[in-house]
Amino acid sequence: MKALIGSGLVGVAASATVFGFRLQGGGWPAVYGEELPDVISYNTDVRPILSQNCFRCHGPDAAARKAGLRLDVPESAYAELPKHHGAYPIVPGKPRNSELLRRLAASDPDERMPPPDTHLSVSKREVALLERWVQQGARYERHWAFIPPSKSVLPRTPWDTRANNEIDRYVYGKLAQHNLVPSAEADKETLINRVAMDLTGLPPTLQEVDSFLADNDANAYEKVVERLLGSRAYAERQANIWLDVARYADSDGFTIDALGRFQYPYRDWVISAFDRNMPYDKFVTWQIAGDKLPNATPEQVLATAFARAGKKSAELGITDEEYRVEYASERTDLIGKAVLGLTVGCAKCHDHKYDEISQAEYYSLMGFFNSVDERGIADYAGWGPTLAWPSPQQSAQLAILHNEVERRFEEFKAIFAAAKASAESTAPREVGDTGELIQSLVTEAQQAYYPFENSYKASFEPLTIGKYPARIPNSPVFGVAPGQDHGGGRAAEELDAAAVKAANGNRPPEVMQKALLIGLDEQKLAYSADGVDPSAPGAINGAHVVDGPPGKGKAIMIDDTIAFANKKVGQFERTDPFTLDVWLKLRADKTYSEVPVLYNSDIRSGGYELRLDENVLSFNLRHTAPYDMIEVAMTSPLPTGQWTHVTATYDGSSSAAGVHLYVDGEKVRTEVLHDRLTRSILPNPRKGIYGWFMGLSFGRTFGAPEFNGGSIDELRVFTRALTPVEVSYLHDPSSVIGLPHETVQGQLSDALAERDVKVKIARANLREAVLAEQTEYTKVPQIDVLMDRPKERPTYLLERGSFDRRLQQVPVQALGRIFPWKSELPRNRLGLAEWLFDPQNPLTARVYVNRIWRDHFGTGIVETVEDYGTQGSNPSNPELLDYLATELVRSGWDIKHIHRLIVMSATYRQSSVMTAETSKKDPRNVYLARGPRYRLSAEAIRDNALAASGLLVDRVGGDSVFPYQPGGLWFMTGAANQVYPDRSLIPADELHRRSMYTFIKRNSPPPAMSVFDLADRNVSSVSRSLSNTPLQALVLLNDPQFVEAYRKLAERGIRSSSDGDQQIVTVFRLVTRRHPSNQELETLRKYRASQVEGLSASPQDAAAILSVGNPASDLGANPATLAAMTLVTAAIMNTPDAYSLR
């Protein structure tokens, strides 16, 4: 928008009117037939106009602000315009002197605001509102949503005696203001259908309907409500709504969209939480900070899967830090949308253009999630914190195995202590010279030694891929297993087998050929001799020979170099003690950042690694980084431009305390970065397009920067953790000359004890027990949860939101301008939860009760349920919204209490029939002169059909299932070939589970439900659209799931009675939960007769109808009769009463 400055005198003093409205004298005119309010409210009347037309250029965003003018705060709006003496945007009480009004009324396009190129305009009525507001003093108000809610005085209306609770009083007050009258209560069939579908997402049974109709107790409806609120179906319904918010899905999203997500325990926890009526404050607190609670239980940690249920990328070509920051940012937006109802993401790249959220505040809020101990590149095996979720059988077996580990550990300690005592007493007599003793022990433990002095050419046959399949271009694409990589159980195993077998016959032709391992070049490749075992040389591709450390001969400089030891060298499990010893020379001209120097892993697999970050050396052992690993780092960087002797020792304890780093023979101070290692560190020797596993390596590796310009020499590997004196000896043998045995004896006694045969046997037995426990533990599925890294990660404001453009560091805290951040709160996610659920927080309670209201009435009191900022809607009944918000807090955040209040209200129980008056005055039912009526959700429509037909399997929880879907549904929807399971492979009961248990693949969601506006689970959704399209009718008429349900429902109708009309009535009631009218019954009777006649003459058509779905009919009815009744059922199911809440 152009700057709001004048080009001449301010005044409209020369004119007494603007847009033809007089600015003084008399009453305020009607504009377009609508009277202006007597008192103009900034929040209700003015702010929406300014926010829509002015704030983009004259609002909170300083970077986008024009002419130095802010119209969202009075201090700027009342102040003199910079560089324009005597010009004021707004002069309270003086519209003629207000530049804002002059510019809105200007006829010159260069003067008019908003400028023509914005394609915005201010209507005559809006200008009149602004004129009157200025005339009345131009009083600003804080945005309504940022003022804590408070309960207002109940209005009095002629209908107060009809009110069941406070909700009705507030609604009646609004009806009276708009000259509307509340509707009568709906009939009992409508009521029980409405409340059952609303609270549970499932229809009432005919027995439940008839029982309610026969119950003349004044509390009959209340009893129905209490039964429904106490049902597991209620918990499933509420959980399914929350799963939209949690962006719950069974695949990863992004390009690969892998299927290996283990998620369902979180979904089942959500169901359990609603079933127990967990208070909303606790429900959310556990999900964002359950791991931070004192003595957190597994259930509390499981709840944090909410925050990590979003998309993750396993694509190796991405930048790890970029995606890690993206995950933290996504969770920040999640809190904004799910809990605060704000578009906080609009402040990621700049100050929010409309709301009181600066860019710095956005990153302060992101700081709560910035220290989550995860990576950006997600491995299928894990990408950060996980929680083991064993079955009861696995738990029992693990307990047995762990007890055996404990027993063998105690046994080992006793045997080792005895051997050590013996060694301490005999060592001085065994070897007379300290140096000789150390040398003998070091030599015994040395597994490999690469001095890089002798390189040679020989047959490279051991370094080739023996049978490499070369696919012929343009060959057919072949399928693979359904549910590929799915960690949920049968989808990845039993269901896969048949599909793989079937696909094998379609494999493209292959040419078998030999090739060197990827990245190797025969011209640049040479072997490097092992000083311990000449038959096990290493290999170097692209060696650059330089001078090594003094007296050490030659060394290797890294420059597009690939080097690796023999594969039998350095392959250690987490139970194995070992030592790495090497000389390094860091380049002097550029710092190394996140560079692996020596590694026995790749970017995605387990293993161990010496690495440099800002030239600081660290050593890690990992199953999956960064969570299931141990890592220690030096506290200062290594020197550059000179040779440095580096040693890393590990004692096999799976603890960071068992790792030590040495520089030039001296133990250095370290800090622990990670200290949790529970599973195998053996690397996955995977083969793929990005390279083959080569063993203990240095130089170039896929997905990580190279130790380019650095040099390496004298690489040694030892099969135990060397002692400090041994490390000192390796650096300089003269360092131990003259040392008495007593000085070194205590250190060497451990090494001497290891020679004892009993110790070797006891260690082997212990290792066997640990690995047995580890093997069983590795089978336990792991669910992604929240846990922070041991050391807090600093958070920075990022220029334009770019991960690699850090500006100033920001404190971790919530949005202080929305609601003050108390200094005593902990600056972690638990502190964030306390801030969110402070009773005075103006947003949290409002946002949630509004969503509950939306779920019952189809529209929220605030229509924009995702945005309570200045661009969002004003509440249609602010007093009602504030009452519900304060009542939620007063009740202890009791969710069922709010549902009960709403469905027990007379407002909810009104008839939904629209009269001529309500159609004219309130066609969208904003003021609620009638009951709710709207189309059901995708899940409710399908579940209604299954329930009415008797097919619905009433089982709560468990892994996701695979109902009917079109063939080829998943083709080309991910980087890997993924095939949806064939229905013949799926147990019949899994075809008919509630829709909330359907497997959701983010890039290819179930199309039949997507047609009915299933939420996009790539993002958090707090509201679904409600569309009406021809595709929906086609789904209801032709989808196998529905056609099968119609057939089974027809069978139920035929079984119910020998009378044809009664059969139709039964089907009609099962579908709609009401009796058909005489006209409806007559229409359906004629339709069935015509279909019986046509299908009797065309038996193949009847057979085609009855062949859809599983299981086949066992009724024994005439095929034409059953097929005709199936079509009658389809017709009823396609009526609004079947797929709408009424």
- Residue 116: asked if its preceding bond is cis (omega within 30°), the reply is no
Rounded to an integer, what distance in angstroms lies between the CA atom of residue 860 and that of residue 854? Answer: 4
**Across 174-188, 766-780, 890-904, 1007-1021, least confident range:** 766-780
Q: 3-state DSSP call for residue 184?
A: coil
Owner of token pair 């107060």: 160
Catalogue all structural domains in the chain, each as residue range(s) with its CATH number: 17-141 (no CATH), 279-389+787-826 (no CATH), 448-460+518-718 (2.60.120.200), 1038-1141 (no CATH)
Between 746 and 940, whose confidence is greater? 940
Band the pLDDT of 752: cuts 50, 70, 90.
Answer: confident
Percent of the chain with pLDDT over 90: 66
Averaged pLDDT for residues 1028-1043: 94
Packing angle of the helix pair 895-904, 166-177 (nearest 10 deg): 50
CA dihedral 49, 51, 56, 59 (to 10 degrees): 120
Q: Contact, 873 vs 341, CB < 8 A?
A: no
Band the pLDDT of 426: cuts 50, 70, 90.
Answer: low
Percent helix, percent strand, percent coil in the chain, to nearest 5: 40, 15, 45
Rounded to an integer, what distance in angstroms lies between the CA atom of residue 871 and that of residue 643? Answer: 62
Nearest CA-CA partner of 720 in 813, 818, 653, 624: 653
Side-chain half-sphere CA neighbours of 324 within 13 A: 19
What pLDDT was estimated at residue 509? 43
pTM recorded for the entire structure? 0.88
Nearest CA-CA partner of 361 in 386, 385, 388, 340: 340
Percent of the chain with pLDDT over 70: 90
What pLDDT was estimated at residue 64? 83
Q: Contact, 684 vs 693, CB < 8 A?
A: yes
- Amino acid letter for position 781: P
What pLDDT was estimated at residue 106? 83
Rounded to an integer, what distance in angstroms lies between the CA atom of residue 887 and that of residue 890? Answer: 5
Residue 2 has pLDDT above 50, yes or no: no
Q: Produce one character per residue of 454-491: b if its CB has 16 or more CB atoms within 10 Å, e if not.
A: bbeeeeeeebeeeeeeeeeeeeeeebebbbbbbbbbbb
Which tokens hold the place of 74? 């009075």
**Across 180-189, 362-371, 676-685, least confident range:** 676-685
Residue 477 has pLDDT above 80, yes or no: no
Averaged pLDDT for residues 1121-1131: 95
Rounded to an integer, what distance in angstroms lies between the CA atom of residue 1054 and that of residue 1059? Answer: 8
Rounded to an integer, what distance in angstroms lies between the CA atom of residue 176 and that of residue 877? Answer: 12
Q: Residue 509 — φ and ψ, nearest 5°?
A: -60, 145
Taking CB atoms within 8 Å and a gap of at least 24, the contacts of 1011-1019 are: 1011/938, 1011/1035, 1012/935, 1012/937, 1012/938, 1012/941, 1013/937, 1013/938, 1014/938, 1014/939, 1015/244, 1017/243, 1017/244, 1017/247, 1017/248, 1017/249, 1018/247, 1018/249, 1018/253, 1018/311, 1019/247
Residue 6 has pLDDT above 60, yes or no: no
Which tokens hold the place of 420? 């050590």
What pLDDT was estimated at residue 1027? 92
822: DSSP letter = P
Owner of token pair 């550029």: 590
Side-chain half-sphere CA neighbours of 1062 within 13 A: 6
- Residue 451: asked if its preceding bond is cis (omega within 30°), the reply is no
Q: Tally Cβ neighbours within 10 Å of residue 238.
A: 24
Helix H or strand E encompassing 1033:
helix 1030-1038
Band the pLDDT of 483: cuts 50, 70, 90.
Answer: very low
755: DSSP letter = T
Q: Residue 896 — φ and ψ, nearest 5°?
A: -60, -30
Strands 607-613 and 595-599: antiparallel
Give the tens place of pLDDT for each residue, 702-735: 767 899 999 999 999 999 999 999 999 999 998 8
Strands 525-528 and 538-541: antiparallel
- Residue 596: asked if its preceding bond is cis (omega within 30°), the reply is no
What is the phi-psi region of residue 892: left when phi exceeds 0, alpha when psi lies from -120 to 50, beta otherwise?
Answer: left
Residue 997 has pLDDT above 60, yes or no: yes
Q: Residue 840 — φ and ψ, nearest 5°?
A: -90, -5
What pLDDT was estimated at residue 478? 28
Tell me, letter by letter, the H, E, C secondary structure of 101-134.
HHHHHCCCCCCCCCCHHHCCCCCHHHHHHHHHHH
Helix H or strand E encompassing 689:
none
What pLDDT was estimated at residue 1042? 95
Tell me, letter by letter, the H, E, C secondary structure of 962-1025.
CCCCCCCCCCCCCCCCCECCCHHHCCHHHHHECHHHECCCCCCCCHHHHCCCCCCCCCCCCCCC
Rounded to an integer, what distance in angstroms lies between the CA atom of residue 832 and that of residue 34? Answer: 45
Between 314 and 351, whose confidence is greater? 351
Owner of token pair 């690796």: 564
Burial class (CB in 10 A: 0-12, 13-18, 19+), 944: buried
Band the pLDDT of 994: cuts 50, 70, 90.
Answer: very high
Averaged pLDDT for residues 651-679: 95
* 76-85, 450-459, 983-992: which is most confident: 450-459
Residue 522 has pLDDT above 80, yes or no: yes
Rounded to an integer, what distance in angstroms lies between the CA atom of residue 72 and that of residue 140? Answer: 9
Tell me the CA end-to-end span of the chain in Å, nearest whole number.
46
Q: Which residue stretches of 6-159 are H helix?
A: 47-53, 55-58, 74-77, 99-105, 124-135
Q: Produce one character per residue of 996-1013: b if its CB has 16 or more CB atoms within 10 Å, e if not.
A: bbbbbbbbbbbebbebbb
Rounded to an integer, what distance in angstroms lies between the CA atom of residue 764 and that of residue 769? Answer: 9
The strand pairing partners of 237, in sequence order, are: none
Rounded to an integer, what distance in angstroms lies between the CA atom of residue 881 and that of residue 144? Answer: 11
Between 979 and 1077, whose confidence is greater? 1077
Rounded to an integer, what distance in angstroms lies between the CA atom of residue 217 and that of residue 212? Answer: 9
